[in-house]
A and B are shown apart, each in its own frame.
Chain A
Amino acid sequence: MTIFLLRRLLSAVVLLVAVSFLAYVLLYPTAGDISRNILGENATEEQVALKNQELGLDQPLLVQYFAWFTKAISGNLGISYFSSQPVWDTLMIRLPVTLSLVVVVTLLTGILAFAAGIWAAVRKGWVDRTLQILATLGDALPSFIVALFLVTYFAIQQKIFPATGYIPLTESPAGWARTITLPVIALAIGGVAGVAQQVRSATLGVLRNDYIRTVRSRGLSERRIILTSVLRNASTNGLTSLAVQVVGILGGAVVIEAVFALPGLGSLAVEATSRTDLPLIVGVILAVVLIVVIVNLVVDVLVAWLNPKVRLS
């Protein structure tokens, strides 16, 4: 297990360096007009040239990347071109918002999807059919359409939840819950549908196995059988599907954070990209890659723990 973890951590580090370099090289050509965009339409060409010098943009690309890299390994990700704030500070403000969404949506998706998937597989009949229809609907509805509907009804007409904004958990847990409820629902609907399908088919597969019949013949209660034998074997597929969903949630957060004006990584990515704020874009990309790496690692560990066969292979 230790070697497994170490190998994964090492590949994560290599991935981060590679991604940062790629981001720098690929985004750099579009960043050529940064100085003009910082100074705006009023500035003269001399001012622009001076700004280029100030920011070191007159240096060759590799020199700029190397300068960024040597600072980055000591934790200094540079300073945003447009807000004068250190990129690290900005990420630390934005990260909790996106993490709130990702963690709550993932937990909610996991619980609801496993419950619905197993229920559908075990009960079959009308329960299964109803859940199938709901899952197809949930899968088909784009999250931003759901979001707009939720805002219009629950925020503007009923005024139950705020239409925009975010209150940190540390400031007011109740306020935090109120501000993330609608975004969480919008993001979770598609995910629950997708994962529930996976859990359902995996459960059906497991139930067909001979050893389940053997266990049943010993006279164990159905609930006990499901919770021990079935869940353990069916969860591999469900968890893997959940990990894929988390990556999807991060993508969906870009739109959802914009609609609800949540100051998270998603809306930051949009702002930074539209302003070609290179240090900030690279910072956001690194943060997102890190989240994806960690989620996958956690899921791999969970799967390995539940299913020893994986560890051996």
Chain B
Amino acid sequence: MMRTRSRLLSTVVTAVVASLAFTACGGSTPESTTTQQGPETAPLLRIGSLQEPQSYDPAQANEGHQAPIYQAVYDTLIKREPDGSLSPMLATSWEPSDGNTTYTLKLRDDVKFSDGTAFDSAAVKANLEHFTKANGPLAGTARSVQSVETPDATTAVIRLSEPDPGLPYSLANAAGYIASPSAVGTEAIKTKPVGSGPYTLDSANTVSGSKITYVRNADYWGDKLPFDKVEFQVLTDETARLNALKSGQIDAAVLNRAATAVEAEGAGLQHKPNEVNWEGIFFFDRNGTKLPELADVRVREALTLAIDREALLQAVHLGKGTLTSQTFRPGTEGYDEALDGKYTYNPDRARELLKEAGAENLTFTFPISPVFDPSIYDSIIQNWQDVGVTVNRHQWGPGQAIPSMLRAEYPIAYMALSQRDDWRHTIFQLAPSAPWNPFKVEDPELKGFIQKAQSGDEAEQKEAAKSINNFIVDNYWFSPLYRLQSHFYFTGSVDVEPQTEQAVPSIYNYRPTGK
């Protein structure tokens, strides 16, 4: 009960803060009114990071583990709150028009980059144009951007080639990082970022492959973050991250394996549950191009019912997750709680379905990625063999799994993907052009829903998201097994709020506790 109330409180506070900021109520410091008990500031925050940026050019930025490293130095046009809602940052408002093909952004006029250049609409234009041309990892998220117009210094009009309801989200991620226009596109920015963010890079104390040090940007336009200095220690090895946490050398870090997470709990480290990824079977070849039997929905259903997902969750992930049948995340419009329990273990029914579909002799090759625990594959293959399916194994080498899946080399595979909001989920995994729909499967009914989700008004979009989810679940496009908790652990010296859709929290979500 306590927990529900405090979560409700924090949601209300977030909402109030967001709406205050949205109506531009001056430069108040709303954080001071929250229930934080620690000191206002602390000298140092040390985060254990799995990765380091490939380049500080914001066009080369990636999401996930690298997000906080970029956020420290680059402000985004729009801010993503911990619960996933969007709030103003460099842009104070963003209005769609013409069926979501134009967005008009109103911009702040009091922001300066760390090199002294003023932030204005020309900076937005320079950054977005560079972003679409530089072929970075997330270039696809701004694919719809056709041109940027700058009617005046505080207005930017983004024209799109097709309706894109996901654009505001993209502008809260890599596509929205704004660097100084004098640095955009130069060689120097790859190692020396120039942004308007809360921190600046301390190059002298930054060692490639080891440590990234940020110091406070004294002229920051927004609310100061509580830490004077932030250190990202690059710790690629899981054991090293856990040891650094246990010995107090770092304040927070993400762990990968459930077993390590249990060890962290045993050592008294803290954790707030946050389910980021969904994992399960991808039936890529729903048309039966490579595996004809897979075109029959009864075969996909049989392969789904044959898997004992509960046993897998308990045995491999030590119960740290929630069983599910859908790919949409709780909190999105498409999500329907009733669907979570739809795919239940039933090997007898699976055998029947295979017989009905005339697929008793079903044989296929199941590719195995070194990224996942081998026992996941062993269990699933055992389950399938139990209902009479012949499964051959193919072992992928390091770095081969994703390229192979996206080249449509295998009809069925096991994979984990982040749970996105409705529209980005749709264009990422479901639409005919989606990268995670490698066999380019199309359906007239689904196509209608997708069109509505793309160019409809808000109410139509919500309705369409529900229809899309139901269609996907009813037609067994995937066999999702569970939503897994990310294992992000921290010591008593900080308090951290998890971030929706991110395995690691944003840089704004840390507070000192004074311990």
Contacts and interface: CB of A to CB of B under 8 A. Distances in A.
13 contacts: A37-B403, A40-B137, A41-B402, A42-B138, A84-B60, A155-B247, A156-B243, A156-B246, A166-B210, A259-B237, A261-B240, A267-B209, A276-B399
A210 interface: no
B81 to A, nearest CB: 22
Contacts of A33: 399-400, 402-404
A164 B399 CA distance: 27
Interface of B: 52, 54-55, 60, 62-63, 135-141, 143, 190-191, 207-211, 233-237, 239-241, 243-244, 246-249, 397-400, 402-404, 406-407, 417, 428, 435-436
Given A42-B63, A164-B243, A164-B247, 8 more contacts: A30-B399, A156-B246, A156-B247, A164-B233, A164-B244, A260-B240, A263-B207, A267-B236
Nearest to A39: B137
B137 A38 contact: yes
Contact of A40 (B55, B62, B208, B240): B62
A270 B249 CA distance: 23
A51 B399 CA distance: 16
Given A50-B135, A163-B247, A275-B399, A84 B190 contact: yes
Contacts of A32: 403
A267 B404 CA distance: 27
B140 A42 contact: yes
A217 interface: no
Given A42-B141, A54-B135, A93-B207, A30 B243 contact: no
A267 B246 contact: no
A201 to B, nearest CB: 37
Interface in A273-302: 273-276
A189 B400 CA distance: 38
Nearest to A82: B54
A155 B245 CA distance: 11
Interface string A42-70: 11110110110010000000000000000
B412 to A, nearest CB: 18
Given A148-B239, A159-B247, A44 B398 contact: no
Contact of A276 (B143, B191, B398): B398
A242 to B, nearest CB: 29
Interface string A229-262: 0000000000000000000000000000011110
Interface centre among A34, A164, A276 (most CB of B within 10 A): A164
Interface residues of A, number: 50
A43 B235 contact: no
A43 B400 CA distance: 15
Interface string A134-160: 000000000000001001000110010
Contacts of B247: 151, 155-156, 159, 162-164
Contacts of B63: 42
A51 B60 CA distance: 12
Contacts of A42: 63, 137-138, 140-141, 428, 435
Contacts of B406: 36, 41, 45
Contacts of B435: 41-45
Contact of B249 (A39, A82, A85, A165): A165
B210 A83 contact: no
Contacts of B249: 162-165
Nearest to B139: A47
B399 A261 contact: no
Contacts of B436: 41
A94 B208 CA distance: 9
A245 B237 CA distance: 25
B360 to A, nearest CB: 35
Given A38-B137, A42-B137, A43-B137, A94 B399 contact: no
Contact of B240 (A37, A259, A273, A275): A259
Given A39-B137, A43-B137, A90 B62 contact: no
Contacts, number: 143
B139 A43 contact: yes
Given A84-B55, A267-B236, A163 B140 contact: no
Nearest to A93: B208
Interface in A155-181: 155-156, 159, 162-166
A47 B435 CA distance: 11
A41 B248 CA distance: 34
B54 A83 contact: yes
Nearest to A37: B399
Contacts of A148: 239
Of A36, A51, A273, A274, most B-chain CB atoms within 10 Å = A36
A47 B209 contact: no
A30 B370 CA distance: 14
A263 B402 CA distance: 28
Contact of A94 (B141, B209, B241, B243): B209
A93 B209 contact: yes
A268 interface: yes
B54 A263 contact: no
Given A51-B135, A263-B209, A84 B54 contact: yes
Which of B60, B191, B236, B240 has most A Cβ within 10 Å?
B240
B208 A90 contact: yes
Nearest to B417: A41
Nearest to A154: B247
A275 B203 CA distance: 25
Nearest to B415: A41
A44 B400 contact: no
A82 B55 CA distance: 8
Contacts of A165: 210-211, 233, 244, 249
Contacts of A54: 135
A201 B407 CA distance: 61
A82 B241 CA distance: 21
B55 A273 contact: no
Contact of A261 (B60, B237, B403): B237
A271 B236 contact: yes
A39 B236 CA distance: 19
A44 B234 CA distance: 29
Contacts of B190: 84
Contacts of B244: 163-165, 261
Contacts of B239: 148, 258-259
Contacts of A36: 402-403, 406
Nearest to A148: B239
Contacts of A93: 207-210
A309 to B, nearest CB: 46
A180 B130 CA distance: 44
9 pairs of A and B residues whose beta carbons are closest in the complex: A33-B403, A261-B240, A36-B403, A263-B210, A163-B247, A163-B243, A258-B237, A84-B55, A40-B137
A93 B211 CA distance: 12
Contacts of A85: 191, 208
B350 to A, nearest CB: 30
Contacts of A268: 209
Contacts of B208: 83, 85, 89-90, 93, 263
Contacts of B407: 45
Contacts of B211: 165
B260 to A, nearest CB: 13
A125 to B, nearest CB: 42
A57 to B, nearest CB: 12
A42 B435 CA distance: 7
A175 to B, nearest CB: 13
A116 to B, nearest CB: 31
Contacts of A30: 397-400
